[in-house]
């Protein structure tokens, strides 16, 4: 008979041992804002073990080195949104942290949970992907570091195997010359699940030409990706409204070529184009 047991390990070693012991039948509990909803669904078979990792203080907090930001996975969205390092060196992530869920959700939900749950609408992922983040995973078999761009397979599925624990998220600080933005469109102002979002980073040279650009739409593709084709048309150019409109169009076309025309395309096609244009225009 299936049994649900609750564990709250005190350190990472204990946690990895538990994950090994229960193999595919354990669920890690961080902020709980997704896990508890899943657990309540009568159609979902409960796991044998719930492993609450909230006692693992080594998985909390944000630190910075000279060139990098390191975020531990139990950092809540509230903490992320109020961190001065994030505001200064990764503005788009700061903005994303402020538009997730509601204050109550932001007080509980964690960046690690947002990544590992891997919903297509996860708001921290497009910024992290634009920031060239890597994630560190640990299990009894050892640790590995994976670029976040290679981490997701499809919605709700990542390359992490069941006994792996997310240890940290790390990315290079944005240079002062790199301006960034995250824009999200939901069905209501608060607590909105992203219908579409865009993370953008833009670097201009002293002469005002675009040197580098990174665009990652959210909730638009079955798997997040950089819009390399659309990015190319901007590099070396002088920023202009026409150019940004054209870039938006390219992203829209890329989305449709990937997902095909669906019932929602009529809506998403112009909206993603406008979000891209606005994100680029407001990169600051």
Partner 1 sequence: MFEEHWKLVNENDMKKVTIHTSVNHKHYELEIKPNLTLLSLLREELGLTGTKCGCEVGECGACTVLMNGKAVNSCLVLAPQIDGQEIVTVEELAIGNKLHPLQESFLNHDAVHCGFCTPGMLMSAKDLLDHNSNPTEEEIRTAISGNLCRCSGYQQIVDAIQNNNVSPLKG
Contact residues toward partner 1 (CB under 8 A) are: 1-6, 8, 29, 31-33, 36-37, 39-40, 42, 46, 50, 52, 54, 78, 101-105, 107-108, 189-191
Whole-number Cα distances in Å, 144 to 2, 186, 275 = 32, 35, 35
DSSP per-residue string spanning 139-164: ETTEEEEEEGGGTEEETTEES--TT-
With respect to partner 1, which residue has the nearer C-beta, 84 or 102?
A: 102
135 strand-pairing partners:
146, 169
With respect to partner 1, which residue has the nearer C-beta, 43 or 67?
A: 43
Which pairing describes strands 196-204 and 5-7: parallel, antiparallel, or unpaired? unpaired
Q: Find tokens 């010359």 and name the residue.
A: 177
Q: How far is the CB of 46 from partner 1 (least distance, A)?
A: 6
Cβ neighbours of residue 147 closer than 8 Å, sequence gap 6 or more = 132, 133, 134
With respect to partner 1, which residue has the nearer C-beta, 107 or 211?
A: 107
Q: How far is the CB of 10 from partner 1 (least distance, A)?
A: 12
- For 225, counting Cβ atoms within 10 Å of its Cβ (0-12 exposed, 13-18 middle, 19+ buried), the class is middle
Cβ neighbours of residue 127 closer than 8 Å, sequence gap 6 or more = 90, 92, 93, 95, 96, 180, 182, 199, 216
With respect to partner 1, which residue has the nearer C-beta, 5 or 58?
A: 5
Q: How far is the CB of 84 from partner 1 (least distance, A)?
A: 17
| 235: phi then psi, degrees, rounded to nearest 5 | -65, 130
Q: How far is the CB of 17 from partner 1 (least distance, A)?
A: 18
Residues 69, 85: Cα–Cα separation, whole Å: 8
Q: How far is the CB of 163 from partner 1 (least distance, A)?
A: 21
With respect to partner 1, which residue has the nearer C-beta, 190 or 235?
A: 190
- For 119, counting Cβ atoms within 10 Å of its Cβ (0-12 exposed, 13-18 middle, 19+ buried), the class is middle
Q: How far is the CB of 197 from partner 1 (least distance, A)?
A: 18
Residues 161, 138: Cα–Cα separation, whole Å: 10
Residues 179, 161: Cα–Cα separation, whole Å: 35
Q: How far is the CB of 182 from partner 1 (least distance, A)?
A: 17
With respect to partner 1, which residue has the nearer C-beta, 13 or 36?
A: 36
Q: How far is the CB of 209 from partner 1 (least distance, A)?
A: 37
With respect to partner 1, which residue has the nearer C-beta, 15 or 33?
A: 33
With respect to partner 1, which residue has the nearer C-beta, 82 or 259?
A: 82
What is the three-class DSSP state of 73?
coil
């Amino acid at each position: 008979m299936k049994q649900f047991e609750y564990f709250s390990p005190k350190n990472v070693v204990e946690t990895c041992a538990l994950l090994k012991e229960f193999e595919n039948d354990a669920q890690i509990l961080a902020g709980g804002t997704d896990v508890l909803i899943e657990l309540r669904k009568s159609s979902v078979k409960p796991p044998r073990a719930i492993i609450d990792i909230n006692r693992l203080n080594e998985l909390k907090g944000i630190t910075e080195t000279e060139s990098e930001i390191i975020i531990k996975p139990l950092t809540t969205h509230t903490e992320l949104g109020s961190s001065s390092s994030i505001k200064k060196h990764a503005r788009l992530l700061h903005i994303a942290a402020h538009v997730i869920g509601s204050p109550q959700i932001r007080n509980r939900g964690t960046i690690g949970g947002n990544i590992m749950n891997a919903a297509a609408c996860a708001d921290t992922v497009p910024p992290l992907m634009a920031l060239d983040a890597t994630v560190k995973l640990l299990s009894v078999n050892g640790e590995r570091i994976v670029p976040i761009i290679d981490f997701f397979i499809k919605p709700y599925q990542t390359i992490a195997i069941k006994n792996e624990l997310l240890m940290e998220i790390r990315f290079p600080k944005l240079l002062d010359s790199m301006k960034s933005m995250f824009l999200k469109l939901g069905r209501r102002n608060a607590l909105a699940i992203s219908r579409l979002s865009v993370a953008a980073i833009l670097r201009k040279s002293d002469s005002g030409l675009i040197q580098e650009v990174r665009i990652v739409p959210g909730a638009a593709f079955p798997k997040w990706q950089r819009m390399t084709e659309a990015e190319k048309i901007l590099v070396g150019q002088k920023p202009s409204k026409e150019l940004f409109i054209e870039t938006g169009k390219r992203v829209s076309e890329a989305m449709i070529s990937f997902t095909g025309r669906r019932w929602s395309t009529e809506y998403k096609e112009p909206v993603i184009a406008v979000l891209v244009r606005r994100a680029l225009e407001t990169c600051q």
